[in-house]
């Protein structure tokens, strides 16, 4: 348990950041899973629309520092490759 006032404040800040991070991670995971479902169902048009949603969620999480830049690049690359394979 935090004793000093600065430690108490740090605890409040950490809790707030944890909520923000979990929310953005959930958005990214939902976008990735949605993309995977559309690719598995071979719905190229819907998957192409979902790709921009995935990009937006991933870029926002990088901007907030929730996930690392290379992790985001890998996610986006895999999604784009899956869509390319579907349309080819």
pTM, 2 dp: 0.86
User: How would residue 2 be classed by pLDDT, with cut points 50, 70 and 90?
Assistant: confident
Handedness of CA 41, 42, 43, 47 (dihedral sign): positive
DSSP letters, 49-85, are: HHHHHHHHHHHHHHHTTSS-HHHHHHHHHHHHHHHHH
pLDDT exceeds cutoff 90 at 5 = yes
- Across 33-60, average pLDDT: 96
pLDDT of residue 56: 97
Point out the least confidently predicted range of 10-14, 21-25, 83-87. 83-87
pLDDT exceeds cutoff 90 at 54 = yes
pLDDT of residue 1: 78
pLDDT of residue 88: 74
List, in order of start, the domains of the chain with CATH numbers: 5-87 (1.20.58.110)
């Amino acid at each position: 348990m935090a004793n000093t006032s600065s430690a108490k404040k740090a605890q409040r800040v950490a809790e707030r950041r944890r909520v923000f991070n979990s929310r953005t991670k959930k958005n990214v995971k939902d976008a990735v899973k949605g993309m995977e479902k559309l690719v598995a169902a071979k719905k190229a048009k819907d998957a192409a629309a979902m790709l921009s949603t995935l990009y937006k969620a991933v870029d926002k999480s990088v901007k907030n520092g929730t996930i690392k830049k290379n992790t985001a690049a890998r996610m986006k690359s895999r999604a784009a490759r899956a869509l390319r394979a579907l349309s080819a």
